[in-house]
Every structure is written in structure tokens, then in C-alpha cells.
Structure 1
């Protein structure tokens, strides 16, 4: 570039961020956009995060440090945006929602983080998120869109109710202009007086198979609370997905280095590992492997457990476990109260070690 139009510098966290806009997204949630007063451009990978230093009365040093995923795309480098949702006990985000206005400045650290599709050669993506876990997915989707790549994205977001789906209108507008962005929203309940005709309930294996029939061919990125991500991992593993193509970011402290990446200690039934089922009422013991279901083992042992769907939906095969552990991936056919009381669904429960059930 010639001397009349010098190449802009890249922003570093030595320079304060100046707030340029605050856009409400839903109750207690807003997108905060910043610029560098020097005119420097922002360089980062989609999915990375910023750590903001936020004023907080009564806190050590009068500040708190809070980490937020960047919801904007590096393809639009003149500003940078984070989208934040205040929880009931929030300090930093609550201060921003109540006090941060255009023209005010904050110190930021970053960008950083390993949760990104930058450098990936995958052409087919599956983005799965819950609540504000949608923010890195928005950044990655926008970047793919802006770079002119052929979109092949199944975009799944789970929320409490339709009115709490962040970025819904923006995503629907993008999807209306291409056949490569397939939106799937799952809600726990409908908004009052507003019918909902989409998916409703807890995200599960059956929903995944309906939403993305070719999930085995996709690179999966997941973000949300740990119980949600564990349910996604179990659903994928149970369907034979190659977990080398699974990536996740949690609501906790984001990962900055590979050394900080936690080992996922999910239980995965092994067909080479022996297990034992004791049917206490019948007095029958049956040797099997971890990949055998309680239902299949009972039938092989000559016992009958009433069953219907065999997919963990109908709840017909509910039995009480009195000893041991099982790996159960169900699709809504049993309540949390029943699980806490010791009940399992025989059709989708795999014995881990020695297990006793009342049959």
C-alpha cells in the first residue's frame, strides 16, 4: 500500500477498547461492540475469546476479569464484538448491561483460545450449542459466509424458549439467502400465546439423527454447559461417531493452550470388556460385555422385560437397578426423578462391571 494509504496496524491488548454500540439481544443479554481508537484492526480466529477488565465495587483492586467468546467475525476487522448474558449472580456482565455505554473504554486481554475451525479442511460442519454457547458458532458461521466458501452447516441451538434464542433473526436472514445453512432450534417450552412447531424437549440422539442424517461426515463443534456437552458426546459416541472430529468449548474458563485441554472421562462401553448382570428376582446371572444392553442380556438369559421402541423413548422397559453402574443414553423415556431413584431403561443401558437389576 502506498504512503497515502498506509497499512493499518493490528490491535494489541496494550490499547484500550472503546465501546461503540450496545445492542440488546434478549432480556439480560446484549452484544457489545468495540473499536480501537487508533484505527488498528482486529486479528483473531473465529471462536476465540477476550478477557475484559470490568469495574466492580467491593472486589479486590476494584475490578473483575471476565472471559467472553467473540461473536463477531475476523472477516470484519474494524470492530470486535462480544455477546454476554447476565446470570443471577453475575457481577461483570451485570455491570456492563447497567453501565457500559458508547464512548467508554475497557482494558482487554487477548484474543486467545483453541476452540476454532481456523485451519480446518472440513467442508461439512455441525454446530451444536446451548444458550449463549451460540456465540462462537455465530463467529465461525459468519466467517465462512464472508469468505465466500460453500456453506454446508447444520446449525443446532437449544434454548429455554423461542424468545431466548440469541441471533435467531440474523441467522434466519442468512439462511434465507443460501441453502447451505440448515437451522435447527430446540426449546424446552413454547412462549406463552405463541405456538411453537419446531423441536421441543431435551436434545437427544433421535433429534440428532433427524436434524443431521449425515452427522458421521461432519466436523462437530459444541459449546454449552458441561451436562449439555456430555449429553452431546454420549449421543455421538452411541451412534458410532469418530470423536477425533469432535471439538468443544465450555461455559467455564476457556482453554488457552493444548496443555490445558482436559481429558474427557466419558464412559464408552467396550465390546472387549466383560460385564455381569444379576437378575435378582429371577435368581439368574448372565455374563456379557459392556456393549450388550440390559434388555438384550435379559432376553439372551431367557427372561422377559416388556419393551416397545428400543430407543429410550417410550419408557416401557423401565426397571430398577439395585447395584452397580450402567451407561444409559436415553431419548426422554425416563425422568430425572426416576433416575435418581435407581431406575434405568433396559433398552439403552449398558452394564459397566457387575450390575444387579430387579427382574
Structure 2
């Protein structure tokens, strides 16, 4: 599976500003499985900060590293000097001063560095020509640039303790960003593990972190790394080709059904991946995904027309179980396993006839001002659930109050909001709420 790596062609990139790899022979790991440094009893726990709950802080860029012609990594540090504690695979919500009037646009970007190296952290961003935020980041973020951040966020991460530690990391395009954080972390930790990384990209020059992944494959016998070009022919490519499928997955990773599988990429890639892993016998309880997509379209306004494309903005996390959360924010910060999440909601829920309120109806109702739709809110339902049931196209990724995608203004009435860090204090003070975790105290009107 590693033969095709020798023919990998990528754009030249500068040497990383820190060396994260080491040569390991098969006798080096002594601990069975993997144990994160912040777990009691793990080695070097004092040097690695505990994962933090989501909070606000200021960050400053200290380095810019091109990864491919369209993908750049930005190395940051916290301006207060505190090391950022996070789990490998999580992301930050960053506010960018893109608008000429000083307005901020928020985007979620995965942390591509390892929490085992707490001196700084990295965000890796793919430039989209039609994306205002990614273009601004590529053109304006330089050493010294200060931004506001919220996080760490997300339940798409490795478990804190895993005695088996057998993983399959599947990446499509820029979906490699949270997975490279996982790979770097697993490589940095001692212990027995068996990790396969399978990375799909559109062209030979679109493989980010290719040099590092090759070194990882060559220096750590616990890792096997493969690259595939998908179904677009290229005369300079002599490696694996073809989209991910049950046949290719079974040929490359015949023991996939015995691994914990993490997949990240665009929605189309994840649809094919889900079908493939199900066909080869992977349990739904062992399959975790994060999609750089939204579950519902945003209303077309002058501002949203210039916003980031739906395929690169915000991670949407899914996994096993029935907990309504994209990032399992409700779980304690020291939860030892990855999140249990449902499949993403359909992007366009079927529209039902608008309900008519009866004079004897004692339920609270929500009115969505932009669409003019009113709907009852059933007991224990959120405003998001009520709106979707009424056919209102509402954006939401996590449904747990963490990602911030469903922020709207509260125009009238009062709500109880039990969020998990996905909204800033100043936004709450200004009358902004999260639909997914807000329940009404009476009739309400929202700006959606």
C-alpha cells in the first residue's frame, strides 16, 4: 500500500518550523494502546495542558506555512501566554475583520497541530476564490495579525484512552486537517497502535502535509499511509487512483471492520465513505465523520452571497448513537471517548402546511420574521426543531449549542438558552441566541 507514495508529486513547501516526527522501531512502544498525556498516570502530563472547555481568547499569528498552492497553515499563539489545551481533531471558531465597516465574520477551522506540542497551534485554511473569509486570511493574516477565537470546539477527536488503538483515518481534500492532528498526536505518543491513513485529493498538488505523511510512513512502523488521486487522470501520477469504494477499501484495509474509523471531507466524499465502510462491515458505533458543509442553505442576502462556500466553512460532526450533537458539547471535558452523534439532518426538510393557531392553544409559538412563518414549540423542543418541523430553512450543524451556526437575533420575547460555548458573551448581550439550544418562555419572534 506504500509503493505509490514514492511517485507522489506535490508543490514545494518550506521546511516546517518545528520537527514533529521521530524514528521509531517496533521495539520502542511499551505501553499497550494509547493514553493521552493529560490522563492521570500518563507520562509527561505536566508538559501538556488539559483539554479546555470552550472559551474566548485572543490569538496572534507567528508563522505562515504554504502546504499546497491553495492551502496554507497559520501558526498562532494565545496573546495571554496560556497554552491551548485541546483534543486532536477539534477546531476553533475565529472572527475575521473582513468587512470594510469593521464587521466580523466567524468561521470554524480545524486545529492541524498536535496538543502534545503546546508551544503554539495551527489552523489550516483552504483558499476559495469566491470565499471572502478564506481569501482575506490568505492575503492578510501574517505574523503579528491578532484575531479573536472561541474554542476548542468539536467532538470529532481521538479517545483519551484506547487500549486497542487501531484506527483508520480517511481524508478527502482539505478534510485532512483534523486527521493530521490525530496522526501527529498518535506518532508523538508512546504505546502500541496500528494506524492507516488513506488520503484522496483531486490533483497531485492538492495533497497537504504530503512530505510529513511520507516521513511518518517511513519512520513509524505503527503507521501505513496511502494517497489516491480519485478518478481524475493525471500524466504525472503513478500511484493509487479511483474514488473510495467498498472494493478499494477492502483491498487496501482488509481489517477495516476491526478499526475505529474517522473520516473528514466534503459531503459527497463522506456519502461514498459511509457506504463503503458499511459494506465492509464497520460498526456504526466505530464510525465518526466530520463534514465541511452545512445542513441547510443560508438565505440569499447581499452579505451571504459573498460568504464562504458551503464546502469549507464549518465542520459538521457525526458519529454513532442518538445524542443530538455535532460536537458532543454536553459531554464533560474529560470524556474519554469520541462523541456519539446522529447522522446529519437533511439539507432541505420537506415543507409542510403552515399551522393555524387555535384560540385554545396554550403552547408557546415562534415566528420567523424573514419567512413570515409561525409554528408551535412542543414541550422540550428547541426553536430549531420547531422551525424545521414547519419547513423553515435554518442553518445548523451541531444542535448542541457549540458550533454557533444557528445564531439569530431575538426580536421579541424571552428564551432560556442552554448553550455549550458556541456563542460569545457580547453576542448574548446584543440579543443574539442559538436556535438549537433555546426554548421559549412565551411567544417569541426571531430574525430568521
Q: Give TM-score scaled by structure 1 length.
A: 0.67
Q: Does 1:112 align with 2:153?
A: yes
- Deviation string 1:111-144 (CA, Å, 9 cap, x unpaired) is 1100001335241100001001001110011111
Question: Deviation per CA, 1:181-221, whole angstroms, max 9, x where unpaired?
Answer: 111111033555x2x22211211111101110111111100
Whether contact under 8 Å (1:50, 1:109) holds in the other structure is: yes
For the residue of structure 1 that corresponds to 2:227, the secondary structure is strand
In the TM superposition, what is the alpha-carbon distance from 1:260 to its structure 2 partner? Answer: 2.7
Structure-2 separation of matches of 1:154 and 1:8: 25
Query: Once structures 1 and 2 are overlaid, which stretch shifts more, 48-57 or 144-153?
Result: 144-153
CA–CA separation in structure 1 for the residues paired with 2:197 and 2:154: 21
**Is this contact kept in 2: 1:39–1:78, CA < 8 A?**
no
Determine helix, strand or coil for the equivalent of 2:261. Answer: strand
Q: For structure 2, which runs of at least 5 residues remain unmatched after alignment?
A: 1-45, 294-313, 327-340, 346-448
Per the alignment, residue 33 of structure 1 pairs with 75
The number of equivalent residue pairs is 258
Contact 1:8 1:40 in 2 (8 A): no
* Cα deviation, residue 9, structure 1: 8.7
Given candidates 240, 252, 269, the residue that maps to 2:281 is 240
DSSP-derived class of the 2:105 partner: strand
Bigger strand share = 1
RCO higher in 1 or 2 (8 Å CA, sep ≥ 6)? Answer: 2
Ranges in structure 1 where 5+ consecutive residues have no aligned partner? 1-5, 267-359
Alignment map for 1:252-271 (pairs within 5 Å): 252=293, 253-255=314-316, 258-261=323-326, 263-264=342-343
In the TM superposition, residue 13 of structure 1 has moved relative to its aligned partner by: 4.7
After TM superposition, the structure 1 = structure 2 runs for residues 12-31 of structure 1, keeping only pairs within 5 Å, are 13-31=55-73
Larger gyration radius, structure 1 or structure 2 = 1
Q: 1:254 to 1:8 in 2, by over 3 A?
A: closer
The Cα shift of 1:38 comes to: 3.2
Tell me the residue number matched to 1:350: none
**Taking structure 1 as reference, are residues 202 and 38 closer, same or farther at Cα in structure 2, changes over 3 Å only?**
same
1:62 aligns with 2:123: no
**Alignment partner, residue 287 of structure 1:** none
Instruction: From the superposition, tell whether residues 108 and 234 of structure 1 become closer, same or farther in structure 2 (CA, over 3 Å).
Output: same
> Within 2, Cα distance between the matches of 1:26 and 1:46?
22
- SS of the aligned residue for 2:63 comes to strand
1:130 is aligned, of 152, 155, 172, to 172
CA contact (8 A) 2:48 2:85 kept: no
TM-score using structure 2 length: 0.54
Question: 2:129 and 2:179 mapped to 1: Cα distance?
Answer: 24
| Change beyond 3 A, Cα 1:176–1:41 | same
Counterpart among 238, 252, 255 of residue 211 in structure 1: 252
Q: State the match for 2:226 in structure 1.
A: 184
| Equivalent in the alignment of 2:206 | 164
